[in-house]
Amino acid sequence: MKRTKNTIGKEISLFNLKSEYLLIKHQIDKAISKVLLSGSYSLAIEVENFEKELAAFIGIKYCIGVASGTDALTLALKALDLKKGDGVLLPANVYPSAFGVTLSGVKLQLCDVDPNTLNLSVESLEKVCNKTTKAIITVHLYGNPVNMTEVMAFAKKRKLFVIEDCAQSMGAIFSGKKTGSFGILSCFSFYPTKNLGGYGDGGAILTNSKKLYKRVKSLRMYGEIARYKSNEVGHNSRLDEIQAAILRIKLRYVNRWNEKRRKLAFIYREQLKNLPVKLLKEEQEGKSVYHLFVVYVNRRKALTRYLQKRGILTGIHYPISIHLTEAFKYLKYKRGAFPVSERSNRKILSLPMHPNLRENQVIEICKNIEDFYRSSSTVNS
């Protein structure tokens, strides 16, 4: 599609990973070179140090680096010894979490979400939780913490494990504590677009339990309890030294970059508040880190095209609910089973959000959204 420039004259992308790299290029290049010259490329000093530093950042005792966020979910569930047929609850709108959960062998049970936050709805948990349910996965979607007071109380009453999926919420806070410090285990992804993203794939599992730490560590490497001594068939899910070295540097910037995201989100909120766009709410005791800035919009397709023509690129996270995805049809949920999630798939739009986005670019994006609705209301009237 031919793009006419917005008034800033440059394309505004959803993420801008290269600009972030260029800011810290010197340190990153040095760290990569150090690893290459060390001759140790897997599960060595960089991974060990990164695990310690991430555990301290979240406020948890143990951390195990793994190969992806998907593996983190699979290994976490396997470490709990959940059996085939045991139910694990997951919100229906978190497409990328469904795979890691399912690959662990448990039975995926879906719940609906709160329309104001698009995080899981405790009301829906009440409805779908049954005798087979053994665990809940709380996904702090778009970086906005789930109300963990409510979820932990719900889980305690029913003796369910809580596992946090923090793939999108690195550094987010609920009630004074970091996300990832509430559940028995928490899972992180370092996919490049994440708030703490590597330059390849990576993930981590955190826990305060020494027993679970040892189990996950063994599952990460063939199920070994000592070299060449394996009591179960484990995975190969190692975080590599280069990614760990990169992540150690970027971890030092996460708080600063999250603050920038929050500042940009504030500007979006101010600029959009009088437009026909519905904003998501932050949880009252929560501090979101705005991995994504997602809004509900009308006439999404036309708006997306309008913005694209003006060099403003958007995304949809996510366009389909888990139960309507071909791969999960076997779960036999009907269309309409999770109406809030399904409606959100048709209405949500992710606007550009990354720490190097400038305030005038946010204003420009909002001005273009305003122009779209003004011109379309003239057309419609």
Ligand X SMILES: Cc1ncc(COP(=O)(O)O)c(C=O)c1O
The residues annotated as belonging to the active site are 194
Shortest reach from residue 347's CB to ligand X, in Å:
19
6, 74, 93, 97: residue in contact with ligand X (rule CB under 6 A): 97
* Contact between 109 and ligand X per CB under 6 A: no
CA atoms within 13 A on the CB side of 374: 7
3-class state of residue 110 by DSSP: strand
- 49-68 binders of ligand X (CB under 6 A): 68
* Contact between 90 and ligand X per CB under 6 A: no
Q: x-or-dash pattern for ligand X, window 133-152, by CB under 6 A?
A: ------x-------------
Cβ partners under 8 Å of residue 293, min gap 6: 142, 264, 265, 268, 350, 351, 352, 353
65, 69, 171, 352: residue in contact with ligand X (rule CB under 6 A): 69
Nearer Cβ to ligand X (201/342): 201
* Contact between 197 and ligand X per CB under 6 A: no
Tell me, what amino acid is at 245? A
Q: What is the largest CA-CA distance in the chain?
A: 74
Neighbours of 65 (CB within 10 A): 28
Would you say how long the chain is, in residues? Answer: 381
Which residue from 114, 235, 106, 117 is spatially nearest to 160, judged by alpha carbons? 106
46, 54, 55, 70: residue in contact with ligand X (rule CB under 6 A): 70
Exposure of 135 by Cβ count < 10 A (0-12 exposed, 13-18 middle, 19+ buried)? Answer: buried
Which stretch in 27-35, 105-113, 123-131, 160-168 sits in contact with ligand X by CB under 6 A?
Answer: 160-168
* Contact between 94 and ligand X per CB under 6 A: yes
Which residue from 193, 167, 166, 195 is spatially nearest to 181, judged by alpha carbons? 166
Q: Are 50 and 247 in contact (CB under 8 A)?
A: yes
Which residue from 27, 19, 333 is spatially nearest to 192, judged by alpha carbons? 19
Shortest reach from residue 366's CB to ligand X, in Å:
26
* Contact between 203 and ligand X per CB under 6 A: yes
Shortest reach from residue 313's CB to ligand X, in Å:
18
Nearer Cβ to ligand X (139/272): 139
Shortest reach from residue 144's CB to ligand X, in Å:
12
Which stretch in 162-170, 214-222, 238-246, 364-372 sits in contact with ligand X by CB under 6 A?
Answer: 162-170
96, 180, 234, 315: residue in contact with ligand X (rule CB under 6 A): 96
147, 189, 271, 321: residue in contact with ligand X (rule CB under 6 A): 189
Which residue from 259, 248, 329 is spatially nearest to 289, judged by alpha carbons? 259
* Contact between 165 and ligand X per CB under 6 A: yes
Total number of residues binding ligand X (CB under 6 A)? 14
DSSP per-residue string spanning 41-109 = -BSSHHHHHHHHHHHHHHT-SEEEEES-HHHHHHHHHHHTTPPTT-EEEEETT-TTHHHHHHHTTPEEE
Nearer Cβ to ligand X (258/271): 258
* Contact between 114 and ligand X per CB under 6 A: no
Nearer Cβ to ligand X (6/144): 144
Nearer Cβ to ligand X (184/277): 184
Q: Are 188 and 166 in contact (CB under 8 A)?
A: yes
248 vs 241: CA distance, rounded Å: 10
Which stretch in 161-169, 242-250, 344-352, 365-373 sits in contact with ligand X by CB under 6 A?
Answer: 161-169
Shortest reach from residue 11's CB to ligand X, in Å:
23
* Contact between 315 and ligand X per CB under 6 A: no
Which stretch in 163-171, 230-238, 346-354, 360-368 sits in contact with ligand X by CB under 6 A?
Answer: 163-171
* Contact between 191 and ligand X per CB under 6 A: yes
Neighbours of 198 (CB within 10 A): 21
Residues that bind ligand X (CB under 6 A): 68-70, 94, 96-97, 139, 165, 167-168, 189, 191, 201, 203
